[in-house]
Amino acid sequence: MISDVAIAGAGPVGATLALALADADLDVVVVDARAAGETIRADRTLALSHGARLIFERLRVWTALTATPGAVTPIAAVDVSQAGGFGGVRLTADEQGVPALGYVVSYRALSQVLDAALARARVAVRFGASVRSVTASGDAAAVEIDEAQDGALRARLAVIADGAASSVPGIGRRRHDYGQVAVVANVALDHPHGGVAYERFTRDGPIALLPQRDRYALVWTRRPADAPQLLALGEDAFLASLSAHFGARVRGFVQISERRAFPLALEVADTITAPRVAVIGNAAQALHPIAAQGFNLGLRDAWELARMIADTPRDAIGSPAMLARYRQGRTRDRRAGIAFTHGLVRLFGNEASWLRVPRGLGMMLLDSVPLAKRAFGRAMLYGVR
Residues that bind ligand FAD (CB under 6 A): 8-14, 31-34, 40, 44-47, 130-131, 161-163, 167, 262, 281-283, 286, 289, 292, 294-295, 298
Rank residues 66 and 133 by Cβ distance to ligand FAD and give the closer one: 133
Residue ranges in the chain assigned as alpha helix (H)? 12-20, 50-58, 62-67, 93-96, 107-120, 227-232, 235-246, 294-310, 320-348, 356-368, 370-382
To ligand FAD, the closest distance from the beta carbon of 289 in angstroms equals 5
To ligand FAD, the closest distance from the beta carbon of 105 in angstroms equals 8
To ligand FAD, the closest distance from the beta carbon of 202 in angstroms equals 19
Rank residues 289 and 349 by Cβ distance to ligand FAD and give the closer one: 289
Rank residues 80 and 290 by Cβ distance to ligand FAD and give the closer one: 290
Q: Is the dihedral of CA 280, 269, 327, 141 positive or negative?
A: negative
In the beta sheet, which residues pair with residue 269?
173
First and final CA of the chain: distance in angstroms?
40
Element (H, E) at 48: strand 45-49
Rank residues 87 and 101 by Cβ distance to ligand FAD and give the closer one: 101
To ligand FAD, the closest distance from the beta carbon of 282 in angstroms equals 4
Q: How far is CA 109 from the centre of its chain?
A: 15
CA distances from 85 to 220, 318, 344 (A): 19, 53, 17
Comparing C-alpha atoms, which of 383, 382, 373, 384 is closest to residue 92? 373
Q: What is the C-alpha separation between 53 and 382, in angstroms, rounded?
A: 10
Q: Are 236 and 191 in contact (CB under 8 A)?
A: no
To ligand FAD, the closest distance from the beta carbon of 133 in angstroms equals 9
Rank residues 96 and 341 by Cβ distance to ligand FAD and give the closer one: 341
What is the number of the residue whose Cβ is closest to ligand FAD?
A: 11
Rank residues 66 and 130 by Cβ distance to ligand FAD and give the closer one: 130
Comparing C-alpha atoms, which of 199, 191, 299 is closest to residue 253? 191
Residues 6+ apart with CB under 8 A from 73: 103, 104, 105, 195, 210, 211, 212, 213
Q: What is the C-alpha separation between 100 and 80, in angstroms, rounded?
A: 17
Phi, psi of 272 (to 5 degrees): -105, 10
To ligand FAD, the closest distance from the beta carbon of 208 in angstroms equals 9
Q: Are 360 and 82 in contact (CB under 8 A)?
A: yes
Rank residues 14 and 85 by Cβ distance to ligand FAD and give the closer one: 14
To ligand FAD, the closest distance from the beta carbon of 370 in angstroms equals 28
Rank residues 11 and 377 by Cβ distance to ligand FAD and give the closer one: 11
To ligand FAD, the closest distance from the beta carbon of 280 in angstroms equals 7
To ligand FAD, the closest distance from the beta carbon of 293 in angstroms equals 9
Rank residues 183 and 286 by Cβ distance to ligand FAD and give the closer one: 286
Q: What is the C-alpha separation between 206 and 327, in angstroms, rounded?
A: 34
